[in-house]
Amino acid sequence: MEYVFHRFDMGFLEWMIRFDTKGGKLLLQKSISNEIDLTFIITPGP
């Protein structure tokens, strides 16, 4: 698996974007003070 990481902190918000160059999946993870964890997975259509 090959991943490209983009990470930046904004106050209480910490965003991490992982892009899987092999499977073409985009994982957007939003963490707020490590209490709320939201994960969105976007896959290319057929």
Buried b (16+ CB within 10 A) or exposed e, 5-33: eeeeeeeeeeeeeebeeeeeeeeeeeeee
- What pTM was estimated for this model as a whole? 0.17
Beta strands, E only, the chain: 3-10, 13-20, 25-32, 36-42
The predicted structure's pLDDT at residue 30: 52
The predicted structure's pLDDT at residue 3: 46
The total domain count for the chain is 1
* pLDDT tens per residue across all 46 residues of the chain: 444 444 444 444 444 445 444 555 555 555 444 444 445 555 565 5
Beta bridge partners of 38: 30
Domain hosting residue 18, numbered range: 3-42
